[in-house]
Amino acid sequence: MDSIYDLIVIGAGPGGYVAAIRAAQLGMKVLVVEKESALGGTCLRVGCIPSKALLESSELYYKTKREYGMHGISVEASVDLAKLMARKDSIVTQLTKGIAGLFQKNHVEHVAGEAKFTGPKTIAVGDESYEGKAVIIAAGARPATLPGIEFDGRNIVDSTGALSFDEIPESLIVIGAGAIGLEMASVWSRLGSTVTVLEYMPQIVPGLDAETAELAKRILGRQKIKIETGVRVTGANADGDSVAVTAEGKKEGDPPRQWTAGKLLVSVGRRPNTETLNLSAAGIETDARGFIPVNETLETKSPGVYAVGDVIGGLMLAHKASEEAVAVVERLAGRQASVNYAAIPAIVYTDPEIASVGKTEEQLMKDGVDYKKASFPYAANGRAKALNAKEGFVKILADPDSDKILGAHIVGVHAGDLIAELALAMHVGATVKTVAQTTHAHPTLSEIVKEAALAVHGEAIHI
């Protein structure tokens, strides 16, 4: 045994590296094991960050061609894809090096390699062995696929592949209308691809408030992203420079349906990275889908071994993993800590953005919870008009007795920023009236939130 640590963290993504840094700040001796050569996990290396870089670049190009004229600006626009990708890669490199710098600053030790349990709190990395007083599993997840479809890294790709095309596809099919699928559809559609999105469920972003999802679908459709819901894909085959995708007929007895495109992105969820950890040596068993069961303190069946983020299922969000990681570490340090799962926001970074927190109307109706609702449109906001961002709304669901917010849903420019106010209100238990009575600067998009809160009580001013 080479050393005993207060905490060993498996994985250096937004759950793992945040856990390690916070633990070191609290005086713990920490070791992080990461199998990839760069720190940051999927989110930073091949997920959240590079996708947002591409979204920003493609949106600027799209608006240059489609919107600048109305401002009296005349320019010619073209895309240098290699330079666009280089910018994305540079951002990722800077941030991964930044995490390495934070590890050094906080005296967090880092070992590169694949971690395997050899006992309840002992980890082997190659020929070396390490022991921890506590262990946090934050190994993340990887893209899933469908039966009959295999990634080939060229024509049939996962989200990582869709971040690195060396040419703009003439046409692209995306299977899955979740956050990743819609974001990648937006990137390549803006850059010139003909994009078709196929979703098995009856709405985009399954689990999203239905009214919100329908509005977002209509807006994305006007951007010439073709979206079909209720499509059960049965297979895909690459032949030369094209891919044929097949699905069941619309009705029983109908012939199979088929689409053809140059590239296929399969974005149908993620699978936890738990198979190679040798969890049985720690006395841990996964469920049927590979997720690690944990209790209310995020502790596994093995005392002192915890799991956070994608490996435990639930919302697969970077910020959820980070909050869970901090909560575990704070409790290990003897402090009180918890995660308010009812107030975790989720965002889809399309244009317009889609953001939500709390319950949907459908969930409240299913649970038999009484509620009142109201929404306020972007079109009635001066700042939105100035930004040419008139499509969208802020929708609030509230308890009719306590006036507390049960859920909030936004479609519109900067929805991901605006949702933070409503998430905070939910976290601290503020009432809708409190949000409505809070002074919001004018002219700002945040006034849409204020007006939606006023509208819950029938008091909206600007509509």
User: Does the annotation mark 442 as catalytic?
Assistant: yes
* Three-state SS at 139: coil
Amino acid at site 361: E
Tell me how far apart the alpha carbons of residues 396 and 431 are, in angstroms, rounded to a whole number.
Answer: 11
Report residue 197: phi and psi, to 5°.
-110, 130
Strands 115-119 and 257-261: unpaired
Output the six-digit token pair for 197: 């999105």
Token code pair at residue 24: 């070191």
CB count in 10 Å sphere of residue 375? 23
Q: Report residue 161 as tokens.
A: 């592949």
Which of 377, 363, 456, 371 minimizes the C-alpha distance to 411? 377
Burial of 174 per CB tally in 10 Å (0-12, 13-18, 19+) = buried
CA distances from 330 to 31, 246, 297 (A): 17, 50, 11
At position 256, the amino acid (one-letter code) is P
Cα gap 349→410, rounded to integer Å: 12
- Residue 141 in 3-state DSSP? strand
The Cα–Cα gap between 49 and 232 comes to 30
Q: Dihedral of CA 165/225/183/71: which sign?
A: positive
Kindly report the length of the chain: 463
Residue tagged active-site, from 71, 110, 319, 442: 442
The catalytic residue positions are 442
